[in-house]
Homo-oligomer: A and B are copies of this chain.
Amino acid sequence: MKHVAVFGAGRIGRIHASNLAALPGVQLDAICDPSAEAASDLAQSLGAKVSTIEAVLADKQIDAVAICSPTVTHSDLITRAAAAGKHIFCEKPVDLSVPRAQACAEAVKAAGVACMIGFQRRFDPTFNEASRRLAAGDIGNAEMLIITSRDPGAPPAEYIKGSGGIFRDMLIHDLDVFRWILCADGDEAAWLSAAGSVLTDPAIADLGDYDSTAVTIRTRKGRLCQINTSRRAAYGYDQRFEVLGSKGLLQCGNQTPTGVVQSDASGVHSDKPEAFFLQRYAAAYRLEIEHFFETLQSGGVFRTTVADGVAAQKLADAATQSCQSGQPVAL
């Protein structure tokens, strides 16, 4: 039985805590959150106790922690948890600063603990099957990747202010998908060009950020990746990618709440995509935390690491720089 504590009882903390609590062989011991009420509500509903970070890190019984607190706290908590010998599951990003993220990687390595980063797209059953087939050679050599990533609506300005910008906040996932899908054989980004606009809300421009972006990456092997992103898709959360290979194409489309198709005098109608990430990636969240504990148990290889977090962060930095300067970045 592995004992675990969750840091953060917000939206994503509640998801991970629930999934943890339902895992056989895992005991959710404690919830920590600055809001006593949030911590208490979540702990009670799952049969865990409320605790503090200090107490958790000092508790010899605790094997692992899940860091679901705000981004600014991640690197500090990773470093302290590693020092305390706890295995770590940490939500993305590692840190908005690449050097601090790299420091985390070193701290984890030095402590000899596991640290997995929550790139949940890698655990989505559909995306994962595409990755599997690509690796199996079903469509030959990968040549191009097209990623469509659109949120249903922009977050509040307050959130954007501390987000590090759309490339570090939102595209971090897509940049990780690029690495996962197109660089699985050791290939790497060589050239990146990004363009951005503000088309939905001038307040976003006032914060120096973008709501619509178009990124192109060329790898060392000449593969091409295009990512298109918007903070606002009126029809919901749009999460697709397709990879072209020398022998074919793999496409991963959106998922819908139901499969009902209605035909009437105005046309043929089906469901919009799942509303947002909690719904769209519900299975992925379950499978990712299951993978974390299975791999802790088996001693196998974790499918995401701090190094993946650092690498995606570097690409996000490059995209930010390219978009602001209007010039491509060599990597």
Contacts and interface: CB of A to CB of B under 8 A. Distances in A.
Interface in A121-157: 125-126, 129-130, 133, 138-141, 143-144, 146, 148, 150
B222 A213 contact: no
Contact of A253 (B212, B257, B259, B262): B259
B22 A139 contact: no
A143 B247 contact: no
A197 B216 contact: no
A206 interface: no
Contacts of A260: 126, 129-130, 133, 250-252
A197 B212 contact: no
Contacts of A266: 269
A20 to B, nearest CB: 13
A326 interface: yes
Contacts of A258: 125-126, 129
A222 B199 contact: yes
21 contacts: A22-B22, A126-B260, A129-B257, A141-B199, A144-B212, A144-B228, A144-B230, A150-B244, A233-B244, A234-B249, A234-B264, A235-B249, A235-B263, A249-B262, A249-B263, A249-B264, A252-B259, A252-B261, A266-B269, A267-B271, A267-B272
